[in-house]
């Protein structure tokens, strides 16, 4: 057992192994932290109709995209009505979720923006059912729903599809496959701008109910998750599965998941 403390050990590492600019530029600092408590953020009810439009406009604002759009629709609305601390949030950071994080097409950024807004106000136990409701609704909904009536960026009828997935890759690629419209196109962007409006509105409805103490999730666990967890869930014979996403897009032996690297198409 070591007779010197972690603080000494790591401060030593910081000073010796980390060389050059970093070591000399930084004041001596221990590698322990007290993780100072941040101020509590109090949620305010906001308007779902306004949020829908903020989401749509926010998506296009500076090209910040879907995650910024839903987050601004919620927290930006609070900022515009209530000032600090909401107005001091560095909103530009929420561009992080654009195209599922720098075009990696992981989580749908609209969902990430909404979940992040929930997380500003509620810890994980309180937030879980809110996120479950929003994400399950998303999996089963034909997007987009929103039809802007003025200041329309791409003034066309936008076809819809159900993604069965909260992942940007599945959501967008399935929509493109179904509609024949390229994944990189103005119409696809418009689809995602309107979807941002839809997610913003739904998230605000959930948040407002939560604030009123009236929130109750309507969407139960997906059948596929129920089925897979019966063997792969916690405490079962092969407890390897992590997650709550609908399992079917990747684990139902569909055409999409056949071997595409051999004899394809």
Residue from 43, 70, 110, 116 that binds a second copy (CB under 8 A)? 116
Pairing relationship of beta strands 161-162 and 142-143 according to DSSP bridges: antiparallel
- Rounded to the nearest angstrom, the gap between the alpha carbon of residue 62 and the centroid of all alpha carbons in its chain is 19
Binding of a second copy by 145 (CB under 8 A): no
Give, as one character, the DSSP assignment of residue 175. H
Minimum distance, C-beta of residue 141 to a second copy, in the bound complex (Å): 16
Binding of a second copy by 147 (CB under 8 A): no
Nearest Cα residue to 199 out of 82, 122, 97: 97
Residue from 62, 155, 213, 216 that binds a second copy (CB under 8 A)? 62
Minimum distance, C-beta of residue 43 to a second copy, in the bound complex (Å): 12
Minimum distance, C-beta of residue 243 to a second copy, in the bound complex (Å): 3
Q: Tell me the site size for a second copy, rule CB under 8 A.
A: 120
Q: Are 239 and 233 in contact (CB under 8 A)?
A: yes
Between 132 and 141, name the residue whose CB sits nearer to a second copy.
Answer: 132
Q: Which residue spans within 126-184 are E strands per DSSP?
A: 142-143, 161-162
- Which residues, in sequence order, are CB contacts of 65 under 8 Å at separation 6+? 59, 95, 97, 98, 99, 109, 192, 196
What CA–CA distance (Å, rounded) separates 129 from 106? Answer: 21
Which two structure tokens, joined as six digits, stand for 115?
Answer: 């979940």
Between 157 and 259, name the residue whose CB sits nearer to a second copy.
Answer: 259
Binding of a second copy by 112 (CB under 8 A): yes
Residue from 26, 83, 147, 186 that binds a second copy (CB under 8 A)? 26
Binding of a second copy by 176 (CB under 8 A): yes
Which two structure tokens, joined as six digits, stand for 17?
Answer: 């192994």
Site for a second copy, residues 188 to 207, rule: CB under 8 A? none
Binding of a second copy by 91 (CB under 8 A): yes
Number of Cβ atoms within 10 Å of the Cβ of 220: 10
Nearest Cα residue to 158 out of 189, 191, 196, 199: 191
Residue from 59, 118, 137, 146 that binds a second copy (CB under 8 A)? 118
Site for a second copy, residues 221 to 240, rule: CB under 8 A? 224, 227-228, 234, 239-240
Binding of a second copy by 250 (CB under 8 A): yes
């Amino acid at each position: 057992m070591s007779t010197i403390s972690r603080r000494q050990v790591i401060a030593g590492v910081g000073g010796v192994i980390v060389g050059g600019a970093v070591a000399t530029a930084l004041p001596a600092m221990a590698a322990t932290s007290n993780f100072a408590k941040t101020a509590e953020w109090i949620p305010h009810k906001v308007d779902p109709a306004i949020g829908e439009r903020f989401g749509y406009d926010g998506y296009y604002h500076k090209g910040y995209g879907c995650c910024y759009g839903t987050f601004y629709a919620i927290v930006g609305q609070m900022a515009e009505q209530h000032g600090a601390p909401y107005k001091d949030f560095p909103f530009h950071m929420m561009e992080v979720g654009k195209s599922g994080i720098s075009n990696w097409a992981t989580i749908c950024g609209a969902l990430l923006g909404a979940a992040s807004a929930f997380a500003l106000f509620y810890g994980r136990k309180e937030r879980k059912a809110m996120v479950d409701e929003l994400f399950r609704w998303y999996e089963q909904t034909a997007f987009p729903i929103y039809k802007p009536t003025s200041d329309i960026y791409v003034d066309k009828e936008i076809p819809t599809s159900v993604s069965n997935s909260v992942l940007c890759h599945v959501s967008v690629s399935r929509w493109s496959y179904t509609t024949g419209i390229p994944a990189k196109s103005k119409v696809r962007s418009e689809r995602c701008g309107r979807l941002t409006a839809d997610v913003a509105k739904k998230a605000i409805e959930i948040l407002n109910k939560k604030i009123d103490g009236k929130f109750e999730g309507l969407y139960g666990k997906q059948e596929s998750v129920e089925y897979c967890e019966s063997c792969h869930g916690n405490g079962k014979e092969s407890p390897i599965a992590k997650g709550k996403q609908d399992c079917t897009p990747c684990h139902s032996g569909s055409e999409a998941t056949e071997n595409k690297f051999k004899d394809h198409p």
